[in-house]
Amino acid sequence: MIADNQPGHIDQIKQTNAGAVYRLIDRFGPISRIELSKKAQLAPASITKIVREMLEAHLVKETEFQEPGSRGRPAVGLVLDTEAWHFLAVRIGNGEITIALRDLSSKMVVEQQFALPPADPEPLLQRIIQLIDQFFVTHQSRLERLTAIAITLPGRVNGQAGIVHRMPFYQVDDMPLGPELELRTGLPVYIQHDICAWTMAESLFGASRDASDVLQVVIDHNVGAGVITGGRLLHGGGATLVEIGHTQVDPWGKLCYCGNHGCLETVASTESMLELAAQRMQASMSSSLHNQPLSIENLCDAALSGDQLACDIITGVGGSIGRILAIMVNLFHPQKVLIGSPLNRAHPILFPAINACIQQQSLPDYGATLSVEPTEFLNQGTMPGAALVKDALYNGSLLIKLLQG
Ligand SMILES: [Zn+2]
């Protein structure tokens, strides 16, 4: 994702160019300086200067390679130098926090999970800081130069200011997580809503790598979406999310915690689905769901083995999601729709239901070129945090800090 800001002055131009060159080396390396100059559309002298600085900072290194189509002497190409640089990727979820050390290629060095009970009386900010300290102490011997901290979490987040306004599960009121951690560690801190960051991760490393316009829908405890348009995350810097979970699908439906009635989330969240299944089971004694504990996994398996009740519930959710998606397809004309959900276990039932709705209810030529696919990553782990750091390298903002030492 290339920085969208129009370069206003020399520093901004330097940042944008350095980010673009770093990105090209990452994507095409080993790559010669000449090739880099062509692809970046920058003068050879500018490339030489940017590359020299990156070499001196050990962010890139030279390597001999055979240029495609050439049988002559090996050429000197550039590749990223990532191993001696680490960052922390943190994920906060319901009752737990995962902290990982990764190198700049996003490869994991070590990952650890800690309990983070919502009911604990100690303020959440203090607990997060203590656990990060504890992680540093435990893994001190493996630490290389630290570059950044990236944190992903559910809730209302202002990524630019580093403030977490509200969170589900935890009592949080405008928590200054970013500024506080920056003060303590001296590192840049990147914070993003977990669905937005997951959408970036799929775009940078996962299932939507080859697409510039993508809708990613998450169906889990909450229902939300991330949108990539023209290669960039919609609402990336601000406090807003694409809140499809709170779009009304049933005006006479259940009251939602947001204050509205019949929101998508009240019919399509995993909890709502299980509630509906339990209700319908009372009227259908023949369902195989009676023979096992009611869970999303068992609901999917029952549907896959032909249980009618389970199939109906999953198809119904697919229809509700598909109706909203059809509207979004008309708005954004994406190449790809990604579904991230524990329901993907029953994708042979869920995906056709979603797709049928999109095909029926969106513009024919918009729907025709579209594919509905599962996300590559699950709703866990710290790849979304890695995506925040990668994005900050590509737009040059983090890279400039590393170049300046
Ligand atoms: Zn709602």
Mark whether 216 and 71 lie in a shared domain: no
Mark whether 263 and 319 lie in a shared domain: yes
Burial classification of residue 161, based on how many CB atoms lie within 10 Å of its CB (0-12 exposed, 13-18 middle, 19 or more buried): middle
> In whole angstroms, what is the distance from residue 80 CA to residue 98 CA?
27
Cis peptide before 68 (omega within 30 of 0): no
* CA of residue 258 to ligand 1 center, whole Å: 4
Mark whether 94 and 219 lie in a shared domain: no
Long-range contacts of 33-40 (CB under 8 A, 24+ apart): 33/78, 36/78
**Percent of the chain clearing pLDDT 90 (strictly above):** 74
Please tell me the total count of domains within the chain.
3
Task: Tell me if 368 sits within 8 A of 355, measured CB to CB.
Answer: no
Instruction: Give Cβ neighbours of residue 141 (< 8 Å, ≥ 6 apart).
Output: none
Mark whether 176 and 317 lie in a shared domain: no
Phi, psi of 146 (to 5 degrees): -85, 135
Mark whether 272 and 321 lie in a shared domain: yes
* CA of residue 81 to ligand 1 center, whole Å: 46
Choose between 242 and 95: higher pLDDT.
Answer: 95
* CA of residue 313 to ligand 1 center, whole Å: 20
Q: What number is the average pLDDT over the span 92-96?
A: 92
Tens-digit pLDDT profile for residues 169-179: 899 999 999 99
| Domain extent at residue 40 | 10-80
* CA of residue 378 to ligand 1 center, whole Å: 24
* CA of residue 204 to ligand 1 center, whole Å: 30
Q: What number is the average pLDDT over the span 257-276?
A: 90
Identify whether 190 is part of a domain: yes
Identify whether 393 is part of a domain: no
In this prediction, residue 8 carries a pLDDT of 64
Tell me the Cα Rg of the chain.
23
pTM of the model as a whole: 0.90
Average predicted confidence (pLDDT) for the chain: 91
Mark whether 45 and 140 lie in a shared domain: no
Identify whether 237 is part of a domain: yes
Q: What number is the average pLDDT over the span 166-170?
A: 86
Identify whether 167 is part of a domain: yes
Domain-terminating residue out of 80, 104, 136: 80
Mark whether 262 and 116 lie in a shared domain: no
Identify whether 405 is part of a domain: no
Residues in the chain: 405
Tokens of 134: 């504890």
Tens-digit pLDDT profile for residues 120-140: 999 999 999 999 999 999 999
In this prediction, residue 217 carries a pLDDT of 95
Residue 250: name the closest of 276, 274, 214 by CA.
Answer: 276
* CA of residue 223 to ligand 1 center, whole Å: 10
In this prediction, residue 227 carries a pLDDT of 93
Query: Has residue 72 got a pLDDT over 90?
Result: no
> Residues 342, 344, 350, CA angle at the centre, nearest 5°?
125
Identify whether 401 is part of a domain: no
> In whole angstroms, what is the distance from residue 396 CA to residue 405 CA?
14
In this prediction, residue 3 carries a pLDDT of 47
In this prediction, residue 168 carries a pLDDT of 82
* CA of residue 262 to ligand 1 center, whole Å: 7
* CA of residue 2 to ligand 1 center, whole Å: 34
Mark whether 104 and 249 lie in a shared domain: no
Query: Has residue 5 got a pLDDT over 70?
Result: no
Q: What number is the average pLDDT over the span 211-230?
A: 93
Q: What band does 67 get if pLDDT is binned at 50, 70 and 90?
A: confident
- What CATH number has the domain bearing residue 29? 1.10.10.10
Domain-terminating residue out of 50, 80, 110: 80
- What CATH number has the domain bearing residue 116? 3.30.420.40
Q: What number is the average pLDDT over the span 148-165?
A: 91
Residue 99: name the closest of 347, 310, 386 by CA.
Answer: 386
Mark whether 269 and 178 lie in a shared domain: no
* CA of residue 271 to ligand 1 center, whole Å: 14
C-alpha distances (whole Å) from 185 to each of 5, 229, 397 are: 28, 34, 18
Mark whether 256 and 368 lie in a shared domain: yes
Choose between 240 and 260: higher pLDDT.
Answer: 260
Tens-digit pLDDT profile for residues 303-350: 999 999 999 999 999 999 999 999 999 999 999 999 999 999 999 999
Query: Has residue 144 got a pLDDT over 90?
Result: no
Q: What is the DSSP string of 10-72?
A: HHHHHHHHHHHHHHHHHHH-SB-HHHHHHHHT--HHHHHHHHHHHHHTTSEEEEEEPPTT--S
Mark whether 258 and 369 lie in a shared domain: yes
Domain-terminating residue out of 19, 45, 80: 80
Identify whether 4 is part of a domain: no
Mark whether 122 and 14 lie in a shared domain: no
